[in-house]
Amino acid sequence: MKILGIETSCDETGVAVYDKKENIILTEQIFTQASKHAEYGGVVPELASRDHIPKLLPLITMALNEAKLSSKDLDGIAYTSGPGLRGPLLTGAALAHSLGLGWNKPCVGINHMEAHLLVNLLERPPPIFPFLTLLISGGHCLLIKATDIGKYEILGQTRDDAVGEAFDKVAKLLGLNYPGGPEIEKMAKQGNPLSFDLPRPMTKKDNLDFSFSGLKTAVYYLVKKQKNINTEFIANISASFQNAVSETLVKKCNTALLTQNLSQLVVGGGVAANQYIRDAFRRELNGVDLFFPKPERCTDNGAMVAVAGSYRIQGAELETSIKIRPRWSLSEI
């Protein structure tokens, strides 16, 4: 079975074809709009929607040509139908349905967070259900017990900012570019993670929820107090912030693994591309089987939608109209 995946939930236009039998991605293309949004310090939904439109078809054509595939080789089309930004979601959904009609292929809307989770099944060997999943992206911070495809129990989530959002906001406070995560990671390499004593939010509590707005506010006051915001200061704040985030994430995952009696942890979403955080998990969680997608499959991409589509298209009720769900919780699947 070969599925075309289309991702347009935010500012990444991603397309890919997944071959389920071989469990490989045959071809993929991505266009990132980040530089366009950087001058505004965050994603502008209207600009994001407009930019997906001229990119989608050429990217799909390039991907199919690269793998010497034609529409006849495809068994279905999967697109992200939520959660995400309404306008960008509509562009992908409308094109997926048009192609479905034109090519006479079934079409299925995918939950973006489920796609971030299921992309890990591309790993060799893949994680085996049940496993713990930490999804850390620009819009979400979720701790999930995954017992099967579509069976997800949310154990904890953020009460305010998502992790990626906190990275982006702290980067903005420090005068760094959008998206802030990679910028902070780069600056942190020159800094000392112990230079500022930042809070580890909610780590003393037994529950598995997260909170990152206090950490961001702590950085805000340090920046406000600082007279000379030079490279050394930015590097030290970046390193201390990244360290506080990674300690918090590791601690919560450790608690969840113990209380749920699980031995595999799957980490996904854009922040999972962060090497410092990946190293902290490897160092601190001895005896736990850890799964991280390739860094380029942590941030939004078409491959994750194609993989999720391959599990959703069989037996799914065929869609006859465009469906988008900008607020679609994993627990509603």
Q: Which residues bind ligand KG4 (CB under 6 A)?
A: 10, 137-139, 164-165, 167-168, 179-182, 185, 269-271, 273-274, 299-300
As a whole number of angstroms, the distance between CA 283 and CA 188 comes to 18
Edge-first strand listing for the sheet containing 151-157: 151-157, 141-148, 131-136, 264-268, 289-291
- Give the nearest distance from C-beta 105 to ligand KG4 in angstroms: 26
Which span sits near Zn ion by CB under 5 A: 100-108, 155-163, 177-185, 292-300? Answer: 292-300
Which span sits near Zn ion by CB under 5 A: 124-132, 167-175, 199-207, 297-305? Answer: 297-305
Q: Concatenate the DSSP letters of all residues of 212-261 into one string.
A: -HHHHHHHHHHHHH-S---HHHHHHHHHHHHHHHHHHHHHHHHHHHHHHT
Whole-angstrom Cα Rg for the chain: 20
- Give the nearest distance from C-beta 180 to ligand KG4 in angstroms: 5
Q: Which residues contact 210 (CB under 8 A, 6 or more apart)?
A: 141, 143, 156, 157, 158, 159, 163, 201, 202, 248, 252
- Give the nearest distance from C-beta 75 to Zn ion in angstroms: 25
Contact 312, 10 (CB under 8 A): no
Our CB check for Zn ion shows the closer of 138 and 193 to be 138
Our CB check for ligand KG4 shows the closer of 91 and 106 to be 91
Our CB check for ligand KG4 shows the closer of 99 and 304 to be 304
DSSP secondary structure code for residue 195 in this structure: S
51 binds Zn ion (CB under 5 A): no
Count of other CB atoms within 10 angstroms of residue 147: 12
- Give the nearest distance from C-beta 288 to ligand KG4 in angstroms: 21
Which span sits near Zn ion by CB under 5 A: 144-152, 205-213, 232-240, 296-304? Answer: 296-304
Distance of CA 53 to the CA centre of its chain: 22
Which of ligand KG4, Zn ion, none does residue 293 bind to, with CB < 5 to 8 Å depending on kind?
Answer: none
The single-letter code of the amino acid at 36 is K
Contact string (CB under 5 A) for Zn ion, positions 298-317, x = contact: --x-----------------
Two tokens, residue 110: 């995918």
Our CB check for Zn ion shows the closer of 105 and 297 to be 297
For 66-133, the three-class secondary structure string (H helix, E strand, C coil) is HCCCCHHHCCEEEEEEECCCHHHHHHHHHHHHHHHHHHCCCEEEEEHHHHHHHHHHHCCCCCCCCEEE
Our CB check for ligand KG4 shows the closer of 99 and 215 to be 215
Contact 47, 127 (CB under 8 A): no
Q: Residue 307: name the closest of 118, 50, 165 by CA.
A: 118
- Give the nearest distance from C-beta 134 to Zn ion in angstroms: 13
Our CB check for ligand KG4 shows the closer of 74 and 118 to be 118
Which of Zn ion, ligand KG4, none does residue 185 bind to, with CB < 5 to 8 Å depending on kind?
Answer: ligand KG4
Our CB check for ligand KG4 shows the closer of 64 and 245 to be 245
Taking CB under 5 A as the criterion, the residue among 13, 81, 91, 137 binding Zn ion is: 137
- Give the nearest distance from C-beta 211 to ligand KG4 in angstroms: 17
Our CB check for Zn ion shows the closer of 83 and 193 to be 83
Residue in the block written with tokens 């590097």:
235
- Interface with Zn ion (CB under 5 A): 137, 300
